[in-house]
Amino acid sequence: MASSISIIGASGAVGTTLAGQILRSSLLKSGDRLQLVARGVESSSAKLLSTRIDLMDAFDDEGVDIEVVANIEDVDADIVVMCAGISLRENLIDRRDWGRANLALYEQIAEICAQRAPDSFFIIVSNPVELAVDIFSKKLGRERVIGMGAEQDSLRFARAIAHDLGLNRNSVAASVLGEHGQAMVPLWSSVELTRPNSNIMHEFNRIRELSTASPLEQRVAHLRAQVLDLIQLGQINEAYEATRRALPDARIFVQPLITWRTMQSTPNATANATLRFLIASLSDTPHPLHGQVFLSGDVFDMKGVCGVPVDVSRQGWTINRMRSLDRIEQERIRHASDSIKTYLASLTVT
């Protein structure tokens, strides 16, 4: 049976990059369809028409049908990737800053999708991920909505650890739960190394022990202040070097900030994490990932949106087995859940 993927916000940096990665991956075959959704304005439609021709020139070997539609009302696919949103290009420090600017837009798009694509599976990319997951879950049903932020954060954590150990990222597995933002919870207890030797294990244990020397929140705050000062001076290389000297759990909070302040996006990393969800969503075999979902007492009796381990397949998502966590890690996850809940409630207060 033919498969179809729709990208809402396909004219943006992430949407365009994701379209290219989908076609390059050969995930879609002849007879399948990739739908690029414009914003109903002439400039957006014109850009996507040109993007379509460019993609066909590059990736037409598989014979995938690349379609451009002008309006969100025309969304029609098995899987819908939500990338649309209002960008805040100036002085962004926290993803939560997007909340009020995008609240009405997310509600409008979710309402249209509930009417137009009632059976689709939705992957949320738009920031704040927790806000969009909350809105879409309430309008479409929580079992059909998942945010990709926790997977992107987990990949960053794994890469940071691998870098410090002199390994490739595919030799490290790691989990980051909670929020895709200030209430991220990197889990040292989740880290698994592929065939480590004694020297690598010694260095890993040393790094992990260093992370307990001072609270993560203090280290992140100090690093963020240092990096923002360097960015203000235009010293981008020095800012990246400052994050490289930091421990991996603090680094993942601040390094993306530099990329955002210089590029206004992290298109390749975001598209790569999203592609993992697309591959899983078209597979009959469950794939272990990390995602923001709307919980109903599934994990630690938490309710509301939070990033957790999930299995994703053609049948949707289910909660994956939570690894053994120490007391502090459990408390941090519960705190993240409460923080997200408080934040989302604040957006409805006028």
In this predicted structure, what is the pLDDT of residue 90? 60
Domain ranges of the chain: 4-149, 150-350
Pick the CATH number of 150-350 from 3.10.20.30, 3.40.630.10, 3.40.1280.10, 3.90.110.10: 3.90.110.10
Which one of 180, 202, 290, 335 is the catalytic residue? 180
What the block records as the tokens of 272 is 């790569």
Residue 217, CA atoms < 13 Å, CB-side half-sphere:
5
Q: Output the tens digit of pLDDT for each of the chain's 350 residues.
A: 789 999 999 999 999 999 999 999 999 999 999 999 987 667 788 999 999 999 999 999 889 999 999 999 999 999 999 999 987 666 666 788 889 989 999 999 999 999 999 999 999 999 999 999 999 999 999 999 999 999 999 999 999 999 999 999 999 999 999 999 999 999 999 999 998 999 999 999 999 999 999 999 999 999 999 999 999 999 999 999 999 999 999 999 999 999 888 887 889 999 999 999 999 999 999 999 999 999 999 999 999 999 999 999 999 999 998 777 888 999 999 999 999 999 999 997 65
pLDDT of residue 184: 97
180 classed as catalytic? yes
CA dihedral 274, 275, 281, 287 (to 10 degrees): -90
| Inter-residue contact 97 to 137 (CB < 8 Å) | no
Say what the pLDDT of residue 91 is.
66
In this structure, is the dihedral angle defined by the CA atoms of residues 319, 133, 99 and 260, taken in order, positive or negative?
positive
SS3 83: coil
Phi and psi (nearest 5°) for 84? -75, 150
Pick the CATH number of 4-149 from 3.40.50.720, 3.30.420.40, 1.10.287.130, 3.40.640.10: 3.40.50.720
Helix (H) or strand (E) holding 163: helix 149-165
| CA 251 to chain centroid | 17
Helix and strand numbers, DSSP H then E, in the chain: 11, 11
The confidence score (pLDDT) of residue 62 equals 84
Q: What is the DSSP letter of 245?
A: H
Is 121 within 8 Å of 80 (Cβ atoms)?
Answer: yes
pLDDT of residue 294: 98
